[in-house]
Amino acid sequence: MPQGLPQRDKDGRFALLAGLAVASFGVVVLGLLRLQVLQHDELTRLSEQNRIRLDVIRAPRGAIRDRSGRILADNQPSFDIVFRPAPIESTLRVRAAIDPVWLRRVAGAIVGDTTDIRRKVLEANRTGQTAVLRRAAPYAVMAAVEESRSDLAGIDVQVAPIRRYPAGAMAAQLLGYAGEINDRELEERADKGYGLGDLIGKTGVERGYEDMLRGVDGAEFVVVNAMGKRVTTLEEGPPRLPVPGRDVTLTLDLTIQRALEVAMGKIDRGAAVVLDPRDGSVLAMVSKPEFDPNEFSRGISFDRWKELNSNGAFPLLNRATQSAYPPGSTFKVVCMLAGLKSGEVDPESHMPTSCNGGFWFGGRRFGCWEHGGHGSLNLVDALQHSCDVYFYQLGLHLGLDPIAQMARDLGLGERTGIDLPAEAKGLVPTQQYYNQHFHTGKWPRGVLLNLGIGQGELLVTPLQLATMTAVVANGGHAVRPHVVQSVQGQATFKIPKPVEPGVVTDQANWNTVHDAMHRVTIPGGTANASRTVPGMNVAGKTGTAQNPHGKDHALFVCFAPMETPTIALAVVAENCGHGSDWAAPVAGSLFRQIFLPDTGAVNERTLHPVVAPVDSAAD
Amino acid sequence: MRLRLPPLDWPLAFATLGLIGIGLATVYSATSVPGAHQGLWAKQFLWFVVALGFAWIIAAVHYRLYDSIAWPLYAASLVALVAVFAIGVERLGAKRWIEFGPLQFQPSEIAKLATAFVLARFFDHARLDLRKMRWWLPPLFITMVPFVLVAKEPDLGTASSFPAMLVAMYFWAGMPASQLVLGLSPILNVMLFFLTGNVWWFAGLFVGVLAWARPRVVVLLAMLALNGAVAVTLPKIWNHMHEYQKRRIETFLNPEQDPSGSGYQVIQSKIAIGSGGLVGKGYLKGSQKALAYLPMRHTDFIYSVVGEELGLLGSLTVVLLYGIVVFRGYRLASIARDGFASLMAVGITTALFFHIMVNMLMTIGWAPVTGVPLPFLSYGGTALIVNCIQIGLLQNVALRRREY
């Protein structure tokens, strides 16, 4: 017998130890039963959630085409470097954002900024949504990421469509651009199903027609591993296919647009608009300086963004619709028409004081641009030579209301209602306006002189000028400028009715105005430079708007061919000088290109272009 | 000629082989996912062959030898435990290994065996009287020295097996269960405090323990004082703990609260086991495992892979096999006629038993994550060799159970 061991009680002690073993293993068995029987369904669900992720399939945005179907904006696949947050239970989820080694590795691979990456990753971890760390990554970055994939937990490459503008900067402000949605937009459009990383139209047509261009994103269930890396798609749940956005066809004519860009080549800042005077379609629209919207598709850096917005030139601004200028002498057309319509003057009317280079009123001399003076002119000659002294007196004679009314009827002073966002209103002063700014009834009549020559408080956008020209050209029929002709699958798409009523007056008056404007472009007129196509008559009016901040703005409005107008053009060249020297030649260049295709300029438009009726052009 | 089988404990042998077989198959499955070390099962098989050789030798040598070298071995293992702090290899923030060229071993495993030998040798004494301090205090020191050293590595899971062994051997050497429970009461006190949040649960229990143990007045007063001190200071210590320390304890008690830390492993393990259901997702078909959600799936959390792929059926089979190992271990202790052999068997079996429970309860979320591998199943050469040596020691006892 062993010494000391209590042999007598050995069986009892064994029984107790064996009982302890049974009890302990019993506890394990209870735990197993709890998990594998009682909580089986719940834990199976968690297991599925663990491995299944809902991935968005981006819907391609609708294309934007010109009136002949030529592509202005479409999509191309982009390889984005994204961060997918790990499942909520994962330690990786927390580590990813705070691990400096990981951050440095990612920043190195995608050539990015650690602060920026960290911010996006934290946000993604908070919301559980995928964050795009680098859009449209070049091949070298893709290769770097693929190479060190195993060290870059959560980093993935995702194919998503991005916007492509094949014509580059052409019509950039009109088309606008689409970029990643920002926080404010996300908040505003939360109820419309927008999410982090969505593409959204920011300006121009891209913004104005966002609801149609935007498709409905699809989704698919994918099986992922603990690193968040996609392993395969889930067989049990078929993907919900994305619905592509609708294509939008513009009234824009790429040929005319190109010609106008060429014609505006010498202008650093300014805008030009070509309307079809028969229906108000925008055929071309240029705003200078321009920008390349493709830059935004690839994801623009903050520095570049600042550069674009801070050099004073504001390339993102669509000067054609968002900038307002004094119309200068182009406004004389309005005064002339107001005078004729009221019956106060006729084509042969002379003003009491003949032009000797200036006009005294209220103890102050108002100069004429022709310092030597024009002598005594009738109405038609006064317009041809743009005699300021004549129009000072005409303004005084007519008074405020007929002129303001005519301006409004022609589409000035109110938004034209074009289908582009953030249109400027301009300003046509009325009695009410002056009553507000001076004491009621006490405003000086001197303002009428300025009004007569298109200076003073008057402000118009280049688009309004083009609209005015179109209405003059078509004999008083109001038009509503618009850029979209049809939307795919929207047969009921209608161009809204004009905002302004148009002008009702005798045909003789129209003939007078047209004749006077025609004289502007013949030798001896101020805009002979616009007459570049033999046999085609052009009717126009130059303008030189005084600019308190610098050199005068040069303006020119015209329509052609005069007898059957298909083009109504307005040109504003900022800080250039005289309209006859800078703006009228733009028209000349444009006409030469689009009506004389054999001069070598890119063109196929003839003297009698056919404009499709808008209503039947849908889809 | 008739084949004469040695009088091995065959249920123990087959249960062990069954567990190792399941272990190899599960290691294969756990590492069959892309990106894992796919050859590990073969490596583990080689380790098994080596381990079998060790077990054979350990079983063949008479246990008298272990009895006689107990103290030198114990001393050597303590030296190794100290050395591990200086020359040990650090992995996952813990220094547990010493390297000999390509071989690595954990001194704590040797210390475990040595401590079992020394305790068995100490208790196997003619004048043993556990009511006297001269007899019950030295074993406490013998155990606490390696316990503290191992706990400092840190390896709390392995360290805890030392006191577990001691308690079982106290009991086997004749200490009444009531006295043991009374002696352990301060530890129970702490555990109950963290489980229930106040000291009153323990207070009620303590009255019952006193009534059962009926200690002498001196002991009664000492235990009252000790537990009183615990009850008073524990809430204060709790309030003075750092946030992260509190969180660690809370994570253990409620892993869902901290799904990013060690709670992650437990949640994933529970999801894996639970989604296995009755019959499992099928061998090699565990999705949690395949998609790498399950952490340490071929080592510490291998039982979760069994649960996911083989379901309740597989999990219970493993429990049953462990039950056989533990039951046979204690049975051999009660059969053995030699005191040293009997006590050693209890110590060895308890150490195994403890490790099994700590790991299994961890995978089902009922014990803290301590990094203890599952004997025979988890991948790892050292652990497998040591576990087979333990079985070899039990078979040693079985071979000589009729000897005095």
Compute the distance between CA of residue A575 and CA of residue B249 in angstroms, rounded to an integer: 75
* Together in a domain, B209 and B279: no
Nearest to B277 among A16, A40, A226 (CB): A40
Q: What is the pLDDT of residues B156-212, one digit of tens each?
A: 888 889 999 999 999 999 888 888 888 888 888 888 887 777 778 888 888 888 888
Compute the distance between CA of residue A215 and CA of residue A550 in angstroms, rounded to an integer: 46
Pair B317, B309: CB distance under 8 Å: no
Compute the distance between CA of residue A338 and CA of residue A398 in angstroms, rounded to an integer: 8
Residue B19 forms part of a structural domain? yes
Sequence letter at residue A135: R
Residue A570's SS3 state is strand
CATH number at residue A348: 3.40.710.10
pLDDT score of A70 more than 90: yes
The β-bridge partners of A159 are: A79
Compute the distance between CA of residue A28 and CA of residue A22 in angstroms, rounded to an integer: 10
* This prediction's pTM: 0.65
Domain boundary among the residues A202, A221, A250 is at A250
Residue B55 forms part of a structural domain? no
Structure confidence at residue B14 as a pLDDT band (50, 70, 90): very high
Cα angle: B359, vertex B364, B367; to 5 degrees: 55
Structural domain including A65 reads 53-250
Compute the distance between CA of residue B166 and CA of residue B347 in angstroms, rounded to an integer: 7
Residue B210 forms part of a structural domain? yes
Contact call for B267 and A37, based on CB within 8 A: no
* Together in a domain, B269 and B389: yes
Enumerate residues 6+ apart whose C-beta is below 8 A from A119.
none
* Together in a domain, B30 and B69: no
Per residue, what are the HEC states of A475-495? CCCCCCCECEEEECCCCCCCC
Structure confidence at residue A606 as a pLDDT band (50, 70, 90): very low
Compute the distance between CA of residue A132 and CA of residue A121 in angstroms, rounded to an integer: 9
* Together in a domain, A230 and A275: no
* Together in a domain, A189 and A269: no
CATH number at residue A161: 3.90.1310.10
* Together in a domain, B169 and B188: no
Enumerate residues 6+ apart whose C-beta is below 8 A from A280.
A467, A470, A479, A480, A481, A482, A495, A498
pLDDT of A607 reads 40
* Together in a domain, A241 and A378: no
Residue A199's SS3 state is strand
Residue A295 forms part of a structural domain? no
Compute the distance between CA of residue A315 and CA of residue A313 in angstroms, rounded to an integer: 6
φ and ψ of B204, to 5 deg: -65, -45
Is residue A49 within 8 angstroms of chain B, CB to CB?
no
The β-bridge partners of A543 are: A555
Q: What is the pLDDT of residues A80-105, one digit of tens each?
A: 888 877 655 444 444 445 567 778 88
Is residue A234 within 8 angstroms of chain B, CB to CB?
no
- pLDDT averaged over chain A? 85
| Count of domains observed in chain B | 3
Q: Which helix (H) or strand (E) holds A131?
A: strand A131-134
Which of these ranges, A12-16, A139-143, A256-260, B400-404, has the smallest mean pLDDT? B400-404
Q: Which residue has the tokens 């404010």?
A: A184
Is residue A91 within 8 angstroms of chain B, CB to CB?
yes
**Torsion angle of alpha carbons A363, A366, A370, A373, nearest 10°?**
-40
Residue A176's SS3 state is coil
Structural domain including B109 reads 61-174
Does residue A148 carry a catalytic annotation?
Answer: no
* ipTM here: 0.92
* Together in a domain, B151 and B12: no
Structure confidence at residue B368 as a pLDDT band (50, 70, 90): confident
Compute the distance between CA of residue A98 and CA of residue A112 in angstroms, rounded to an integer: 17
* Together in a domain, B350 and B391: yes
Per residue, what are the HEC states of chain B? CCCCCCCCCHHHHHHHHHHHHHHHHHHHHHCCCCCCCCCHHHHHHHHHHHHHHHHHHHHHCCHHHHHHHHHHHHHHHHHHHHHHHHHCEEECCEEEEEEECCEEECHHHHHHHHHHHHHHHHHCCCCCCCCCHHHHHHHHHHHHHHHHHHHCCCCHHHHHHHHHHHHHHHHHCCCCHHHHHHHHHHHHHHHHHHHHCCCHHHHHHHHHHHHHHCCCHHHHHHHHHHHHHHHHHHHHHHHHCCHHHHHHHHHHHCHHHCCCCHHHHHHHHHHHHHHHCCCCCCCCCCHHHHCCCCCCCCCCCHHHHHHHHHHHHHHHHHHHHHHHHHHHHHHHHHHCCCHHHHHHHHHHHHHHHHHHHHHHHHHCCCCCCCCCCCCCCCCCHHHHHHHHHHHHHHHHHHHCCCCC
Beta strand pairing call for A64-65 and A248-250: parallel
Structure confidence at residue A604 as a pLDDT band (50, 70, 90): very low
Q: How far apart are the first and last CA of chain B?
A: 31
**Contact residues on chain A for B272, CB-CB shorter than 8 A:** 47
CA torsion sign for A316, A320, A321, A325 is positive
Give the mean model confidence (pLDDT) for residues A40-49.
Answer: 83
**Contact residues on chain B for A47, CB-CB shorter than 8 A:** 271-272, 274-275, 287-288
* Together in a domain, B28 and B75: no
pLDDT of A617 reads 33
Is there a cis peptide before residue B186, judged by omega within 30 degrees of 0? no
Between positions 100 and 129 of A, the ones with CB within 8 A of B are: none
Longest dimension (CA), chain A: 149
pLDDT score of B144 more than 50: yes
| Count of domains observed in chain A | 2
CA torsion sign for B48, B54, B60, B66 is negative
Residue A42 forms part of a structural domain? no
Longest dimension (CA), chain B: 75
* Together in a domain, B66 and B167: yes
> Nearest chain B Cα to A18, which residue?
B327
- Which of A329, A530, A580, A589 is an active site residue? A329
Chain B interface test: which of A9, A33, A35, A149 (most B C-beta within 10 Å)? A35
The β-bridge partners of B100 are: B103
